[in-house]
Amino acid sequence: MTYHLNDKVVLITGAAGGIGAATARELYALGASLVLTDMQQTAVDKLAKEFSPSRVLPVALDVTDAAATNAVIQKTIQRFGHLDVVFANAGISWRSGASTIASCDEAEFEKIVEVDFLGVWRTIRAALPEIIRNQGQVLVTSSAYAFLNGLANAPYAASKAGVEMLTRCLRAEFAYTGATASVVYPGWTATAIAKVAFGGNATVTKMNEVVFPEWLRRAIPPEQVARAIAKGVQYRRPRIYAPWRWIPFSLFRGIFGVLTDVMLSRHKEMHALIQQLEAESPR
């Protein structure tokens, strides 16, 4: 049965970013009203200007703040009367380049986990009563890093693998309620987070090139991810991939993970690049 978005209310975290903004536009076109949240009020205000004021509520939100997240849910109910879909999409990665576990800044490592994993948990937790009451949906942005080795990006990759399992648990626990939860798996997407691997950092870009064949490391526009999400929401799909070329790697992740870990342990050029990255670390 198709889940129609007309008159539904959708809350998006990280709404001002590439995937968040593109998804907002797709879901709005399908009839949804939007609660747009991101760190900066000016950023969500700018995005909100694209939509009818009667169908949008822009609010600044730091997803690491549980009290503030709960307050946004209450504002949503006060404004629209209900919340039907929450899209836990906010995420960050290294601020300047990439680092290994040995060379990274400890505080930055923990901040990434705080936003990318605990921020998702706090968003979901705050929205659960409304999602269950309305037999709605939870969407969570994971990543192809849920099944790829995330070397040089460990806190991001570990968080994305963690939120994948969190969402799978939630979907199973939702089974008797009529609500659903879906994992979103974007591959390389042309956003600020992925820029480091596409010319933003020469060493990381080279690491990307020596491991992935050209057809796998082609970045897709965030609009392609947004279209997949919109389709996934309408059919309550448990897993939403964009692009589809990552599906076999997810389905066969067991053997794929073993083989790639062996390959990386023997890859001399990659070993040299890891040492070079650590030498470039500001620490």
Cα separation of 141 and 14, whole Å? Answer: 10
Structure tokens that stand for 207 in this block: 């690491």
Count of H helices and E strands in the chain? Answer: 11, 7
Of the candidates 145, 156, 185, 241, the residue annotated as catalytic is: 156
Cα separation of 10 and 73, whole Å? Answer: 11
Q: Kindly give, in sequence order, each residue whose CB lies less than 8 Å from that of residue 115, ignoring residues fewer than 6 positions away.
A: 63, 64, 90, 91, 92
Residue 149 and residue 91 in contact, taking contact as beta carbons nearer than 8 Å = no
156 is annotated as an active-site residue: yes
Q: Kindly give, in sequence order, each residue whose CB lies less than 8 Å from that of residue 78, ignoring residues fewer than 6 positions away.
A: none
Residues annotated as catalytic are: 156
